[in-house]
Chain A
Amino acid sequence: MTGYFSEIWRLRYFWMALVRIDLRNRYRRSVIGIGWSLLHPIAMTVVLCVVFSQLFRQDIRTFAPFLLSGLTLWGFITAVVMQGCQCFFVSESYIRQQRAPLAIYPLRTTLGAGFHFVLGFGIAAMLVWCVRGFGNPPVLLSLIPTLALLFVIGWSLAICAGVANVMFQDSQHLIEVLMQVLFYATPIIYRPEMLLERHPLMPWFVFLNPFAALLELIRKPLLDGVLPAPWAIDMSLALAVAAAAMAALALRRFEKRMIFYL
């Protein structure tokens, strides 16, 4: 186990260089550079703000940062999972060339997606700051462990998705459907409170959804200036542990054989 990680560390210049080139290619191809990749969450935010402010009588000043932070987090999860599906195929020529821990390829995906997330989240934070200022700035420090947690979850999910897609070709399609379902099942574009009051079972629907917990983890300190609720922390930790365990299991069982299925 430690040997595996030290091998990954030994090759750090390799995967860091790959992440750098991914970012550069993504930004260089467009005139507006970084703005391009943020266009999706920002455009979604604008549209949803206009619609929802009419529909649900939401105050735009609080709703816009709420949406933007949620959409960028979801963007990270989707990117990690969907690009994770392809990560081993994209790197096939390296895998065939040189023996290296396979986990470095999902790591490349995760770091790239993580960079976009931090950017988008930074914009959401600036939005909050401009509109009404942070209520309680020290609470924002809780975002640091949250980021670490997101990294673990992202890397693990990318590994799982990648392995699944190599072993079974229709995984990507299944995962795509699942992500779409999760998008609507998770309080990303609506407030969890909107659900909680509707039906006695609805609280479970929110509290047992680990992605809802992750959203709580980033939104509470940023938007409300309070620490996230204990249930959210527990659920997020549970997700991280479960995802990491699954990733470790998947690698242990399939890593050596994957070369035959690429």
Chain B
Amino acid sequence: MSVIQLDDVGLKFQVRRFGRISLKEYLLQGLFRRAKKATFEVQALEHIDLCVEEGDRLGIIGHNGAGKSTLLKLLAGIYPPSSGHRRVDGRVSALFDIALGFEHDASGWENICYRGFLQGETPRSIRAKMQPIADFSELGDFLNMSVRYYSAGMMVRLAFSIATAIEPEILIVDEVLAAGDLAFQTKAREKMKHLISRARAVIVVSHDLASLELMCDRVLWLDHGHVRQLGPAKEVIAAYTQEVSGGARQAA
């Protein structure tokens, strides 16, 4: 029984040429058909077929702008597919843009609650997790302070600690391993390893090919929104490395 199934999924972005569109513009456009179209489309993903089974650890690689993060957001249910079919069976926990989503006027403690509630916790269930989250973040007395005064690194620490406090069923990770200072990175990596070992399925985007090869059994190589190759981690990473270094040699 597969946990995640994508059948011929495509995703088109409507990009607006001049930022956001106004109603006035929209109506004028309707009146005068000759008016230049204010939006154009970007095919971010096309013909993606993917099946993630119970116990799978899938890595996603590709150059910048290949659609890796978009694919993750689609899997997490944040972007709807514009064509094809997406089926996800289980609770998804996603770790991306994790420094976002804080109430700046609330303290660290309160933000732990809010994030927890958004992830579906109840006041009762979050109470037991508060202290471990606080301990893991190592923020100590700073947690009593309003998040407005946190440094970027402190926010990442807090966000990572909250997001990883729940036991995920399906874990989706977007390169968060580069979070915080060196000591925290090591700790975060340990925590990730632990989470990955417990989750029913894991999907990771990373440019760190060495750790991907260790972490994942399968790798998906994404190229301009298409699946270039999908197979055993070693094989795909080798092919990818060869192409990238080959391209570099050609350029030189």
List A residues at the B interface (Cβ < 8 Å).
10-11, 13-14, 17-18, 21, 25, 93-100, 167-171, 174, 256-257, 259-261
Contacts and interface: CB of A to CB of B under 8 A. Distances in A.
A96 B97 CA distance: 8
Contacts of A10: 120
A25 B148 CA distance: 13
A170 B24 contact: yes
Interface in B48-79: 76-79
Given A98-B94, A256-B80, A260-B14, A17 B117 contact: yes
Contacts of A18: 103, 114
Interface of B: 13-14, 19-24, 26, 76-80, 92, 94, 96-98, 100-103, 105-106, 110, 113-114, 117-123
A207 B177 CA distance: 63
Contact of B118 (A98, A169, A170): A98
B77 A11 contact: no
Nearest to B103: A21
Contacts of A93: 97, 100-102
21 contacts: A11-B118, A13-B122, A14-B118, A17-B113, A21-B110, A25-B105, A94-B118, A95-B78, A96-B100, A96-B101, A97-B96, A97-B97, A98-B94, A99-B92, A100-B118, A168-B22, A168-B26, A169-B22, A257-B80, A260-B14, A261-B20
Contacts of A99: 76-78, 92
A13 B106 contact: no
A21 B120 contact: no
A18 B26 CA distance: 34
A260 B80 CA distance: 10
A99 B118 CA distance: 9
A14 B23 contact: no
Contacts of B118: 11, 14, 94, 97-98, 100
Which residue, A10, A95, A167, A169, has most C-beta atoms of chain B within 10 A? Answer: A169
B66 to A, nearest CB: 19
A111 to B, nearest CB: 15
Give the dominant DSSP class at A's interface: helix
A120 B102 CA distance: 31
Contacts of A260: 13-14, 79
A13 B122 CA distance: 7
Nearest to A170: B22
Contact of B21 (A11, A14, A168): A168
B82 to A, nearest CB: 9
A52 to B, nearest CB: 37
Given A17-B110, A21-B110, 19 more contacts: A11-B117, A13-B123, A14-B118, A21-B114, A94-B118, A96-B100, A96-B101, A97-B78, A97-B94, A97-B98, A97-B100, A98-B94, A98-B118, A98-B119, A168-B20, A168-B21, A169-B22, A171-B23, A261-B20
